[in-house]
Structure 1
């Protein structure tokens, strides 16, 4: 790694997140180690690209929006030895830099994929229950998803085949392949996500809908078939795997 090459490339999946993106960028700017910040934007019609550029991020424009393609292209453009994938509506814990530094120095770091603990805000009893279920699923079934982030060494990312160009289920597809060759481990810190995903339908109804999407995909429905059932706005940051 050259003197100017970043050790960690942060890849942020983004579409029309002008309200939330500045908060994540502020978290990232507190880093105590070199970061390359790439915003993979699916064609935002708000100020998301301008906000990213003003914060020193590099904007990669991918249109039409496709979650898997956005992530795959940005990963190919990234220069770091480590890749940290995040959603634009995420917030990092204040101590995230120290934890990641310790992790990168550990002997087992490069051989595993690393994820955060899901935290949904604002809190409710139903959301806290969902978080606990996600924790069990992530640890014992080895199925953390995109809103939990993913920190992975480039070599391991390439070894498992990276993100496929899927409009939905791109994170489930990746962790299924990744879990066949290594362990996915907790970083031990929360990653806060915006609770608006569950506001309209409620936690139970949305979770059921998303489980049905996952079930249909596992039974052979293509991600493209599932994606066509929703408008571009609904797909933009819907989290269907929950």
Structure 2
């Protein structure tokens, strides 16, 4: 069975549609949906508390912290980390269970954006490739809970790039797979910053990490660019 863990901060616009989508597309393997809230100031908490298929979990702010909090509260043996603005494919839970049965203890889906732009479409095609350089948090992440605990969960010193950091450790375990079905994620950051500015920011973060930048340096650079 699967525990879905969704870190949230001011996601009142995204959550109603996501919860309806999860209910409509799951095939019976989902034990619980945990919305781990990092102190939202909008209606996020109220939406979850009124929902019949989600549980509200309060947490300190920070996606890595929130996802670890969700994992500690999860009841199932399979953890599925999902961003609030990403919609997994039909029967996503049975697709995940099938990979576990094949011996793959971690993985993600192929990803496409909800915006039709040639560059974003091309980036989506690269997510078919099972290589660390093609990974990102918007593709979601499933991992067997025992393996998650074995590697120490998310590194909470990372306020950005936390998904890529844990995925890199999972690749070292040689357990990672890419499910050949599409998850659809929002291009809202690309729409806010512009496609090329956003892509350049991600390239900068990637190379700074490759050259040994600390989590604090990555965070500082990321938010400096966001606010510029």
Q: Verify same fold: TM over 0.5.
A: yes
Show structure 1 runs of 5+ residues with no match.
1-6, 236-242
Q: Provide structure 2 residue ranges, at least 5 long, that are not aligned to the other structure.
A: none
Quick check: 1:131 aligned with 2:111? no
Q: Does 1:149 align with 2:171?
A: no
1:21 aligned partner? 15
Give CA-to-partner distance per residue, 1:58-93, whole Å, 9 cap, x none: 222223x21111111111111110000000011122
Contact 1:25 1:52 (C-alpha < 8 Å) held by counterparts: no
Equivalent pair of 1:16/1:48 in contact (CA under 8 Å): yes
> Which residue of 101, 107, 112 maps to 1:119?
112
Q: Secondary structure at the match of 2:108?
A: strand
Number of residue pairs the alignment of both structures matches? 222
CA distance in 2, matches of 1:117, 1:132: 8
Deviations 1:136-182 (A, max 9, x none): 3xx13365221101111111111222111121111111011111112
* Deviation (angstroms), 1:101: 4.4
| Equivalent position SS for 2:159 | coil
Distance in 2 of aligned mates of 1:163 and 1:51? 27
2:206 paired residue number: 214
Structure 1: 4+ residue segments shifted above 6 A: none
**1:83 alignment partner, SS class:** strand
| 1:186-216 deviation per Cα after TM superposition (whole angstroms, max 9, x unaligned) | 1221111111110133323211111101222
Cα-Cα RMSD: 2.2
2:220 aligns with 228
Tell me the equivalent position of 1:12: 6
Q: 1:76 aligns with which of 72, 75, 82?
A: 72
Aligned partner of residue 127 in structure 2, secondary structure: helix
- Per-residue CA deviations over 1:120-148 (Å, capped at 9, x if unaligned) read 01222121011123333xx1336522110
